[in-house]
Amino acid sequence: MRKALAPLAVLPVLAAMLPAQGSLHMLLGFAGDNTNSVNSVPIAGMYDQVDRNGKTDPNTAELFGFLRKVYSVNGGNGAFIYDEQHIIENGDISFYVADAGDGYILKCVDSNANGIIEDSEATIFTQFGTSRTFGPNTLSVVNVAGKVVVYTALDSRNTSRPIGIYRSEDKNNDGDASDAGETVKLLDSASALTFPGKAGTVTLARDDWQRIRTVPKFNRFFAFNNGSASTAPAADAFCYFGFEEAAGTLTKHSVFFNPSKLNGLPANADITSGALEDLDITFIDQTTMQSNYFNGFLFAEVDEDGDRRTLPAYYFTNTYGAKRSFGSKNVAGKELQGVVLRGVDKNLDGDLQDAGEVTVFFNGSGNDLKGGAIGTSKTVSWTDPTRGPVTTIEGFVTGLAEGEGVVYLLVENGSRDGVMALIDKNGNNVIETGEVEVLYETPSPFPPVFSSQFGPYSLELHAIDRSLVVDPLPTGAVPFGTGKCTTLSGLRPLFSVAGGVPTIGNQNLLLEMKRGNPNVASLLFVGASKSLLLGTIPLPFALDPIGVVGCNQLVSNELIFATLNGASGAASLPLPLPNDPKLKGLKLFMQWWSQDSQANPAQWVTSNGLEFTVQ
C-alpha cells in the first residue's frame, strides 16, 4: 500500500490558488438534438480548467455542454435560451433557465456533482404557453423567507401566451411551480400603473419586458420596458422600473433608472444635465427617410455587494453596433457601442436617478465620452486575438454577466463570437487600458457543442463564482456519496479536479474543494478504500461520535494532507503525476474536510468523495 500511495507524497502544504477566470455559461439558440450528447446544446460551459492560462480554449474540454437536455420543439427550431440565474437552495446551487422556444422555465441542479447537468437533473419548473412562444426572455431569482421565488418577465410579441411580470414559487415542495396558485401575475399593462412624468403622469401601457433582476438586500426587483425605434417613442419605453411585492401582491412601483431622454419620464439627473453622455441613438429610416430614435441599454446585472463590499453595484450595457442597421451614434455624433455603465444607489432612495449615481464603467466605443461624476471617459485599448490592438468592440454586445467582481461581455460579430472580461484591477470603478482581456473566440469550423448551421447563435451569458461549482470531471474522476453537512453559506462542500485527465505524466492536476469558508484550514483524506475505515469500520461512517455532527466519512485515511482555503472558500492541492506506466490503473479514494466554526462541536464539515483512477 505504501508503494501505491507514494506518488502522492509530492503534495505540498500551500494556500489555494485558483484561476482568474470564473465559470461562464453561453446561452444558445437552435439547440435541438434532445439526446444528452455534446452536439448542439442549449447551454455551453466555459472554464479555464485544463491549462489554467486564464482563457478558454474552444478546441479542448474547456468548452463543453453544460445543459444538454432540450425540452423545446419550437417548430423544429429547438431551444432558445435567453436567460439563466442561480441561487443557493437545499445545500446546492439551483440554476433557473428561461427557454423562449416553447415557454419553459427550467430548474437544473448538478445533483451528482460531476460538473454538468444530466437529463434527469433538468426539470420543468413552470411553463408560459405551449409552442413557439417567443418567450420568456428573462427571469430572476431570490430567496424569500427560505423559499426560492422566480420572477419572469414576458413581452407582448406573442399574445397567445401570458404577458407581463409573474411570480413563481414551489409552495407544496414538489419541485415545480406548476400547481394552482404557484405562478401568479404581478403586473402587466392592464394594471395601468402610473409614474410621475416630465409633464404630468405617465401610465405603464406597454408590455415589452426585456430584462428583470432582483436586489435581495432591499427586497426589490427591477425590469426594463423596451420600445421600438420611431420618430416619437412611447412615453413608457426604454426605462427600468422598480417594484416591491409581498406574497404575490405588488406593494410599490417607481422609476428605478431611466437611461433615455426619449420617453415621458425624468431621465437620470446626469443625463438630463449633460454630465453623462446622451445614451439614445438616432438614425435615418431608409424607407421613410425620417430620423428615428432608440435606446438599447437593455442589459443589466447586479453585483450584490459590489460597492465597497456593502452596497449593490449595477451594470448596464447596450445592443448598439456601428455596423447594425440602426448604428451606434447619438445626436451629437458620438459612438456608443461597447459602453458599460455602473450604478450605485448612494443615497439609498431606491433608484439610480440622482446625480453621481451612474457613471461610465467601460468605454469600448472608440471615442471619448462624458462619463458622469468621473468626468471624461477616455477610450480604452486592448488586444484582440484576431485584430490586434483595438479601441472598439467588433459587432455588438449580446450578453452581460458578472461574477467574482469581474464584468463579462458576450460580443457578436458575425463570425467570431467572443467573451471579454472587464477586470477593475485598481478598484477605481473605471475600466482602463490593461484591464480588458479577451477570454474566448469561436473558431471555424464550429465546435460540436454549437449548431453546425448557425454556430453558437449566442443569446446571453451567465457567470458564477468558480468556487461554487464543480469543473466538469475528467475521465478517471468519479464523484460518490455525500458528506451531508453544509457550511455557513448553506452549501455542501464538493470535490473537484482541474488540469485535465489524470494520465501518467500530467503535471497540471489540481485536487480541489469547492464551497468551503474563506481563509480556514482544510484536510485532504486519501485512502485505498471507500468501504472500510481502519480495516474494520464500515463506510460511510457517521462522524457524530467525534463531534462532527451531521457529517459522513466516506474514505479510509491512509494519508492526510493539510492546506488553507483561499478568500473564495476554495482549497486546492497539486498532484503532478510521474510518467510511470506502472501507475496506470492506480485507484484512490479521496475526501475533503474543512473548518467551519458554526457547523458542529468539532467545527468541521466534510465533502463528497472522489474515486480517482490514473489513466
Given a contact cutoff of 8 angstroms between Cβ atoms, the answer to whether 547 and 606 are in contact is no
Answer yes or no: do 190 and 48 share one domain.
yes
Final residue belonging to a domain, choices 412, 446, 464: 464
Question: DSSP character for 271?
Answer: H
Query: Which whole-number Å values give the CA distances from 33 to 71, 76, 449, in the listed order?
Result: 10, 10, 11
DSSP codes joined into one string, 314-372: EEEE----TTSTT-SB-TT--B-TTEEEEE--TT-SSSS-STTSEEEEEE-BSS-EEBG
How far, in Å, CA of 277 to CA of 281, rounded?
Answer: 11
pLDDT band at 454; cut points 50, 70, 90: confident
Q: What is the C-alpha to C-alpha distance for residues 240 and 200, in angstroms, rounded to an integer?
A: 19
pLDDT band at 417 (very low <50, low <70, confident <90, very high): confident
Determine, yes or no, domain membership for 18.
no
- Asked if 276 and 268 touch (Cβ cutoff 8 Å), the reply is yes
Kindly tell me the number of DSSP H helices and DSSP E strands found in the chain. 2, 44
pLDDT for the residue 101: 95
**CA-CA distances (angstroms) from residue 116 to 49, 210, 305, 368, 480?**
14, 28, 28, 43, 15
Residues 451 and 478 both lie in one domain: no
446 and 544 fall within a common domain: no
Domain count, the chain: 2
Q: Establish if 375 belongs to a structural domain.
A: yes
pLDDT at 229: 92
In 209-248 the beta strands, taken as DSSP E runs, fall at 209-215, 220-225, 239-246
* Lowest-pLDDT choice from 41-55, 123-137, 170-184, 318-332: 41-55
Give the domain extent around 490: 2-13+474-613
Written as nine digits, the cell of 259 is: 437611461
Do 485 and 425 reside in the same domain of the chain?
A: no
By residue count, the chain amounts to 615
Question: 371 and 507: one domain?
Answer: no
Cell numbers 408590455 correspond to 207
Q: How confident is the model at residue 149 (pLDDT cuts 50, 70, 90)?
A: very high
Q: Output the pLDDT for position 336.
A: 97
Is residue 207 pLDDT above 70, yes or no? yes
pLDDT over threshold 80, residue 21: no
Does 211 map to a domain? yes
**Is 469 part of a structural domain of the chain?**
no
Query: pLDDT tens for residues 330-345?
Result: 999 999 999 999 999 9
Specify whether 287 is located in the same domain as 146.
Answer: yes
Average pLDDT of 218-230? 95
Furthest C-alpha separation in the chain: 86
Q: Is the pLDDT of residue 567 over 50?
A: yes
pLDDT interval class at 562 (50, 70, 90): very high
- 3-class DSSP string for 512-554: EEECCCCCCEEEEEEECCCCEECCCEECCEECHHHCCCCCEEC
Cβ atoms 218, 281 nearer than 8 A: no
Q: Is 22 left (phi over 0), alpha (psi -120 to 50) or beta?
A: beta
- Give the phi and the psi of residue 440 in degrees, each rounded to 5: -160, 140
CB 281 within 8 A of CB 336: yes
Asked whether residue 53 carries a pLDDT value surpassing 90, the answer given is no
Instruction: Give the mean pLDDT of 513-533.
Output: 96
pLDDT value of position 414: 67
- Strand residue runs (E) in 355-444: 358-363, 369-370, 376-377, 382-384, 388-390, 396-403, 406-412, 418-422, 436-441
Claim to verify: residue 80 and residue 121 sit in the same structural domain: yes
Positions of E strands within 132-171: 138-144, 147-154, 164-169
288 and 349 together in one domain:
yes
Is the domain of 479 the same as that of 414? no
Residues 509 and 441 in one domain: no
User: Could you tell me the CA-to-CA distances from 528 to 394, 478, 510, 612 in Å, in that order?
Assistant: 54, 15, 19, 10
> What letter represents residue 158's amino acid?
N
User: Residue 255 sits in a domain of what CATH number?
Assistant: 2.120.10.30
The string of pLDDT tens digits covering residues 459-498 is 999 999 988 999 899 999 999 999 999 998 899 999 999 9
Q: 467: which DSSP letter?
A: G
pLDDT of residue 446: 87
Nearest one of 178, 179, 80 to 138, comparing CA atoms = 80
Give the number of other CB atoms < 10 A from CB of residue 583. 18
Asked if residue 312 is part of any domain, the answer here is yes
3-state secondary structure 7-34: HHHHCCCCECCCCCCCEEEEEECCECCC
CA 200 vs CA 10, 196, 258, 264: distances in Å: 73, 6, 17, 9
Helix (H) or strand (E) holding 4: helix 2-5
pLDDT band, residue 309 (cuts 50/70/90): confident
C-alpha cell at 358: 451612474
Percentage of the chain exceeding pLDDT 90: 83
Place of cell 459587432: 395
The amino acid at residue 452 is S
C-alpha 126/C-alpha 106 separation (Å) is: 7
DSSP label at residue 308 = T
Distance CA 33, CA 72 (A): 10
Unique residue bearing C-alpha cell 456519496: 481
Which has the closest alpha carbon to 382: 427, 317, 435? 435
Residue 586 lies in a domain: yes
**343 assigned to some structural domain:** yes
pLDDT score of 5 more than 60: no
Average pLDDT over residues 178-187: 98
Residue 445 lies in a domain: yes
Q: How far apart are CA 295 and CA 280, in angstroms?
A: 5
Q: Are 87 and 142 in contact (CB under 8 A)?
A: yes
Domain end, chosen from 441, 464, 487, is at 464
Tell me what percent of the residues of the chain surpass a pLDDT of 70: 95
pLDDT at 150 over 60: yes
d(CA 483, CA 596): 14
Q: 347 and 272: one domain? A: yes
Is there a contact between 136 and 105 (Cβ–Cβ < 8 Å)? yes
Beta strands 358-363 and 369-370, pairing class: unpaired
Looking at residue 470, the DSSP 8-state letter turns out to be P
* Final residue belonging to a domain, choices 464, 483, 516: 464
Q: Is 143 in the same domain as 268?
A: yes
Given this model, what pLDDT does residue 47 score?
A: 87
Contacts of 375 (CB under 8 A, 6+ apart): none
Model confidence band, residue 286 (pLDDT cutoffs 50, 70, 90):
confident
Instruction: Look at residues 300, 361, 292 and name the one whose alpha carbon lies nearest to residue 330.
Output: 292
